[in-house]
Amino acid sequence: MRLRELLEDAQPGQTFYHVTTDNRLRSIMATGLEPRRHRRWHNQLGGILGDRGFIYLISDFTEAVRFAARWDYNMRVAKKRMQTVILVLSHVPAKGLERDDHIEGQLAGHTWYKSPATIPPQDIVRVIPLTPDLVKQAVQTTEQPKADLPPEAMPAETPPA
């Protein structure tokens, strides 16, 4: 599926995304996402991210794809045979939902959240496997064309000699 179609399907303000692995899907689809089962993960520098007792969510699909791609790459480097998937969630309870204050979330435009609430399986509306094509499309949406310089930033014309 194309990134544009996935973005158009999302309902702004109501949809969140959760990145996980395919080996956890059976349990998640049976019991939902439960904060007590939260597993912590390592960032690229080896630091431990995440607090126990929370579910981590991303409000922007493109940012969820970027995070999933980084996570997937680290798993492949560690020779783990899991596939990364993105869960599309609806009806996330607002009570207790707060922005994740981690630096990666801040750099992602404050699109990372954490919630102490359990997300029941019926609120998982879609499972999207991470594919190379999806990652490529997400990367292309972040590439910004060079902006035209404003007139005051243009070099002054030198008079002819």
Tell me the CA distances in angstroms from 109 to 1, 5, 103, 104, 106, one per residue in order.
25, 22, 10, 9, 5
**pTM summary value:** 0.73
pLDDT grade for 111, boundaries at 50, 70 and 90: confident
Domain ranges of the chain: 3-140
Q: Tell me the per-residue pLDDT of 39-66, one tens digit each, with 9 for 90 and over.
A: 556 665 666 666 778 899 999 898 899 8
Choosing among 3.20.170.30, 3.90.1150.10, 3.40.50.2300, 3.30.465.10, the CATH entry for 3-140 is 3.20.170.30
Nearest Cα residue to 60 out of 113, 96, 21: 113
Q: Tell me the per-residue pLDDT of 63-97, one tens digit each, with 9 for 90 and over.
A: 899 889 988 888 888 888 889 999 999 989 888 88
Per the prediction, the chain carries an average pLDDT of: 77
